[in-house]
Amino acid sequence: TAKQAVTRLSTTAWHDFAERHNNIAREFYRRAKKGMMNVAVIDTLVPRLTYSTLLATVFYLKSQWRSGLLGQENVGILLPSSAAGVIANLTVFALAKTVVNINFPAGKDNMQYAVKASSIKTIITSRRFIAKLSAKGVDLEELLENHTVIYMEDCISKSGKAKIARNRILFRVMPGFIGKHVFSAKVQPEQTAAIVFSSGSEGRPKGVELTHSNIIANIKQTATVCNIERSDVALAALPLFHSFGLTTSMLMPLLLGCPLICYADPTDAKTIGKLVCRYRVTMMYGTSTFFNLYVRNRKCMPEMFTSLRVLIAGAEKLSPKVKSEFQLKFNKAIYEGYGATELSPVAGCSLPNEIDVADLYVEEFNRVGSVGLPLPGSAYRVVDPATLLDLEPGVDGLVLVCGPQVMKGYLNDPEKTQAAVFIEDGVRWYKTGDKGHLDKDGFLTLVDRYSRFAKIGGEMVSLSAVERNVELVLTAEGVEFMAVAIADERKGEAIYVLHNSAKSAADIRRELLDNGVDALLLPSGF
């Protein structure tokens, strides 16, 4: 359609914008100079940090770490969403190096692989956090023994505090055009800012290289559709080793001048509720799983969430049940974002509909079952996965995304990069691996992942479709289930459902049949 054609053309202007704003550290400096005494970060473990103090602390640590990190391109960070995590990431950006936030829940082997693949020699962490991880059974001994470790607790002495105080005065009086050169060196648009490792669900974790311009452009795109204002207050509880936590939850509020409330554990529903209430949080980003925890926790009361204005769910599909129950308990609507690590991470989002009071025309941004429209400067296509030719509206196919947020590539893996990203008419398109369709107005509806299919007797059977049927039968609170495909000598593959329900396999099968489930979608076992 004409609308989609114009949308695709807009990506060019956004690429130009991204290339002019290509330094995360300088963008932070520019924001800090506009409101030096404004609150930047609030952490339960440290006093409130103003932009002035944060700027001065980062500059001090930059001078302390520069010689030790000389010649190193990538720097490992093992910290939660906290003031320490914010300071460490900003300091590495100011040194014009690449941050690699280590995915500590991924397991010992995956951590070792990520660190080795990134050629990391130095890891920044804290003794307090290491002790907490060790208490939870996370084995870090070998990882830390073989690398230079910088502990945040050891970095600021009494003399260091005096130098930070001096830096605060220095940056207040220093002209902005001089200060930005002093604070951070210039970087090229294509320079990698962060390497974010996937969870490894399809084999070894993939290191996704996101550039400074990728991240800054995605922040601007997301802020535009969410109508973020300086009066907003953001909660940062998502882990920094995910792009959703690094870009949307941490960097976006910092670069836009919104106070950032840090908390390391998004599963602690009671504390999350208290923080939202105490600091009048207006923006919260999370996953369907986390939002479900807040619904289930009795100590998370409806009155705690009254200040929230923007609630976006991402990283996994938003359960309709969680969405409706959250609305019922807190009287707040959760809107679903769509994206991937390879997209820095946001590609699009559903938002509240707007009405023009002059003629009562409703501008739609939200349709039931859809993940919404693409972000400004981004575009969707749905194509045949074999030919990459565009499909008609309503026809399911492979979802493609373009825009300035499309990753640089996979770390040390040009073959996988070439398989995931292709250029057509000068535009870089990312193959998401998602199956879905566009309607005539450009709203995207996701159906499945191409990797989540079982091939039974030559027929491709969607595991998600099986799960949707099982969901109608396993409705008890606390029940979890998942459909998996395993090898079968007779039909190639068979579908089994893993579950923690008290129901017997015979009862589940009978109820599925009573609901009229097609024989092809009936699991072989439970």
Terminal CA-CA length for the chain: 46
- Residue pair 53/164 in contact (Cβ under 8 Å)? The answer is yes
Q: Give the tens place of pLDDT for each residue, 437-494.
A: 999 988 999 988 777 778 776 667 878 888 888 988 888 778 899 999 888 766 778 8
Other beta carbons within 10 Å of 518: 10
Other beta carbons within 10 Å of 329: 15
Q: Give the tens place of pLDDT for each residue, 134-159.
A: 998 888 888 898 899 999 999 987 77
pLDDT, position 72: 95
Q: Which residues of the chain have pLDDT under 70?
A: 1, 3-4, 8, 199-203, 457-459, 489-490
pLDDT, position 200: 46
| Distances 217 to 343, 346, 347, 493 between C-alpha atoms, Å | 11, 10, 11, 43
pLDDT, position 51: 96
pTM metric for this prediction? 0.86
β-bridge partners, 339: 346
Distance in angstroms (rounded) separating the CA atoms of residues 337 and 210: 19
pLDDT, position 482: 92
Distance in angstroms (rounded) separating the CA atoms of residues 190 and 404: 11
Distance in angstroms (rounded) separating the CA atoms of residues 327 and 339: 23
pLDDT, position 204: 74
pLDDT, position 201: 42
- Residue pair 221/252 in contact (Cβ under 8 Å)? The answer is no
pLDDT, position 44: 83
